[in-house]
Amino acid sequence: MKLTGARATRFIEKPSADVIGVLLFGPDRGLVKARSLALSKVFMPNADDAFGTTILTADDLSGDPARLADEMSALSLLGDDRLVRLRLDHERNGAAISKLIKQFDTEPEKAEAKLIIEAGDMTPRSAIRKACEASAHFAAIGCYAASARDIAELAKSKLAEHNISLMPDALDLWVPLLEGDHALALGEIEKMALYKGYGKFEGASVTVADIRAIAAGGQSASIDMIVMQTLSGAIEEADASYRRAMAGKLNPVGILIGLQRHLLRLIEASMAMDGGNNVGQAMRSLRPPVFSMQEDMFKRHLSLWPQSMLRRALTQSQKAEREIKTAAAPAEAIMGRLILALASYAAKRT
């Protein structure tokens, strides 16, 4: 069965008793991991039972194709619940795994363990994904990057648990830093709650200064700075900021999303200018409007980048996104090449 949206959320919290296994897949590896851990706690209430959980990888099956079937059919010596977690970084055994899913779907009584499959992005043609979506006893749940609105609600609700509020301008600055990885977002929100003393002081509120102080590794490695330096043609500065961001474990996908958002805003402003607005009117027409501290840089980008080249840059970023979503793709290297290419073009225009 295929589960999405609210149905998927409810299922993670309380999976159907007749479900044997769950496929968690998608580009948001942090969300895949978080949902896998949540399901593991439901399937295996005794989290301390190390003998009840078996962890396999795709390479384990390459060396022993029958291993998954053996683990799924093995009886517990003590009669306790058992769980098999399969982590896939490729689908070279896709046909064998999909065949096993179909067998257990036909004869569910033969399964002696629950199965959780963790994978990266899968196309609709994936044999494993198709088998789970067509099954009555297996579920397939896609894990995709949350929308900006979802991230904003997550940040506000998690901080509200500690009686900490979020200033609107701080939220606008923070959301792009949190997009792309669910685990990263939760970690950053928890870090901010700690920074604000978990709301021990009455009236605690997160401000722009707080975001710039600690969010996503600090201002020196912020998505905002990397994007601004890249499109301004500051090659060495952009490269140095990107390297610091990677050293600080910032997700390359978050940087890509921030870049795409800025390019779309530049295109929108450029179109407004084509319609007769001056640059100031064009920037004020955006929602949200350009921050006062970024106005000069935004104007500079509009002067350096013709609308045709902004659209070409956006196309390049979308191509990079598709490459990153490929299983085991080197996201850090792909994003680094894109930053270098765009910064080099802008540098030639200065």
DSSP 60-114: HHHH-TTHHHHHHHPPPTTS---EEEEE-S--TTHHHHHHHHHHHHH-GGG--SE
Write the DSSP symbol of residue 134. H
Stretch 218-224: mean pLDDT, rounded?
58
SS3 readout for 246-272? HHCCCCHHHHHHHHHHHHHHHHHHHHH
- Tell me, yes or no, if the pTM score tops 0.75: no
Reported in sequence order, the residue ranges of the chain that DSSP labels E, i.e. its strands, are 2-3, 21-25, 53-57, 83-87, 114-118, 138-142, 165-166, 205-206
Third-level CATH fold of 2-142? Rossmann fold (3.40.50)
Stretch 21-38: mean pLDDT, rounded?
90
224 pLDDT band (50/70/90 cuts)? confident
Contacts of 241 (CB under 8 A, 6+ apart): 220, 221, 222, 225, 226, 229
* pLDDT at residue 221, rounded to an integer: 44
Higher per-residue pLDDT: 141 or 246: 141
Say yes or no to pLDDT of 324 above 80: yes
Alpha-carbon distance 339 to 263, whole Å?
A: 13
Say yes or no to pLDDT of 49 above 70: no
In the chain, list all ranges with CATH 1.20.272.10.
Answer: 149-349
108: preceding bond cis by omega (within 30 degrees): no
* pLDDT at residue 134, rounded to an integer: 97
Stretch 31-39: mean pLDDT, rounded?
90
Stretch 201-215: mean pLDDT, rounded?
80
**How long is the chain?**
350
The count of C-alpha atoms lying within 13 angstroms of the C-alpha of 117, restricted to the half-sphere facing its C-beta, is 33
Contact 185, 151 (CB under 8 A): yes
* pLDDT at residue 232, rounded to an integer: 95
In the chain, list all ranges with CATH 3.40.50.300.
Answer: 2-142
Token code pair at residue 149: 């609105």
219 pLDDT band (50/70/90 cuts)? very low
220 pLDDT band (50/70/90 cuts)? very low
Phi and psi at residue 23, in whole multiples of 5°?
A: -100, 120
Q: Is CATH 1.10.1740.10 what the domain over 149-349 is classified as, yes or no?
A: no
SS3 state at 144: coil
* pLDDT at residue 33, rounded to an integer: 87
- pLDDT (tens digit, 9 = 90+) per residue, 135-168? 999 999 999 877 788 889 989 999 999 999 999 9
Alpha-carbon distance 179 to 149, whole Å?
A: 10
Token code pair at residue 285: 């027409």
Alpha-carbon distance 41 to 66, whole Å?
A: 27
Q: Phi-psi bin for 257: left (phi > 0), alpha (psi -120 to 50), beta?
A: alpha
* pLDDT at residue 229, rounded to an integer: 94
- pLDDT (tens digit, 9 = 90+) per residue, 99-132? 999 999 999 999 999 999 999 889 999 999 999 9
